[in-house]
Homo-oligomer: A and B are copies of this chain.
Amino acid sequence: MPDAPCARIGAYAVYATSRRTPLGVPCAGTISGGLPVVRVGVIGGGQLARMMIPPAVNLGIDLRVLAETEGMAASLAATAVGDYHDVETVLAFARDVDVITFDHEHVPQDVLHALVDAGVPVHPGPDALLFAQDKLLMRQKLSDLGLPVPAWARVETEDELQDFLDANGGHAVVKTPRGGYDGKGVRVVSAAHEASDWFTTLAEHGAQDALLVEEFVDFRRELAQLSARRPSGELVLWPVVESIQRDGVCAEVLAPAPGSAGRIADVAAQIAADVATGLGVTGVFAVELFETQDDRLLINELAMRPHNSGHWTQDGSTTSQFEQHLRAVLDLPLGATGCTEPHTVMVNILGGPADGALADRYSSALGAHPTAKIHNYGKDPRPGRKVGHVNASGSRLDVVAYEARAAAAFFQN
């Protein structure tokens, strides 16, 4: 398939007029014969860092990972093991790389600023990551930018929460501003006392002196707009996808989202562009969206890194989100974001086999599903843990969804 016209929006495809990539300057890294190579340092050794390894190998990029512990998903590329909260550890790691990027959004601001002060390019930068680290700051910023968000409030007391509930139909979603992921730190309440334990422990969380409360959105489905932006401005967008959550965790992604061509794609693209420039995001980022019953798109969450909603790009797009992220943080021209097949479906492998490794099921799973692409994070199975995913692509959504679901099912019992 040729690239979909929506994939690269002309107005946003701003090519660099000045070169800020480290490629243009001499660097310390060399390969055997003494030629300069490009070194990207990734803080965090999880599956997102792991999935940057294949495109780094393809492009001849020296990927270096600072892992939290030995034996993590990205251990093949780990050149250091240490605590990313420690400034000296991170500065030492950053000494040999051309740019620092991330497996997650949790590196503290003081560490990020120490890197910047030391002259290390950091993408996304501290100012952008601040919004990803604090949901209250993010909601405030998005509101200031005039972007469509659910009704929300900062609440410091049960009384304030009850006032919000009374004004918003009696149901709301309460979130801890920091530290939540995959449904953690998120609670649906219909009375203020249901969040009393969180108010009690607010003080214990240090910087968190309030909770975020949002209206309970009556959504038809959840969508995500995956995009990438270079420091010098170029922005590219993949097709909008539909993400299906179970128990607060992404279970499946349908790419593109059925019926999203046209208005939905246009609105989502505009939102992503406004977010990128408004928040100064660099690298790959994902805007998670609610499609409401009354046909609006509201911003749910924002991830400033490759994202589960973009894993389908590994096997369904001309450029995977992991290759694109490397290109973006190096300020290299971005790759085409069209679909290589009309439909790709991603199904997460949650938990994994109860009695062994994913590879124990390869004989049966691969035999039954020769078109399925298996991604194994090399992590020990554990209930609810994301240990891998399956992509399947083709011309019929029902067939593709069946293949991906059926192949993934081999690994989940």
Contacts and interface: CB of A to CB of B under 8 A. Distances in A.
Contacts of A2: 394-395
A334 B54 contact: no
Contact of A363 (B60, B61, B333, B367): B333
Interface in A9-46: 15-16, 19, 21, 23-24, 31-38
How many chain copies? 2
A359 B327 CA distance: 11
B359 A23 contact: yes
A208 interface: no
A3 interface: yes
Given A38-B359, A58-B54, A359-B60, A333 B366 contact: yes
Interface stretch (A86-94, A154-162, A265-273, A373-381): A373-381
A194 interface: no
Interface stretch (A69-77, A119-127, A238-246): A69-77
Contacts of A367: 15, 333
A357 B32 contact: no
Tell me the dominant secondary structure on chain A's binding face.
Answer: loop
A53 B59 contact: no
A363 B21 contact: yes
Interface stretch (A99-107, A170-178, A335-343): A335-343
17 contacts: A2-B395, A3-B371, A23-B363, A31-B378, A32-B70, A35-B356, A53-B53, A53-B57, A60-B388, A76-B76, A318-B370, A318-B393, A332-B362, A333-B362, A334-B370, A335-B371, A340-B393
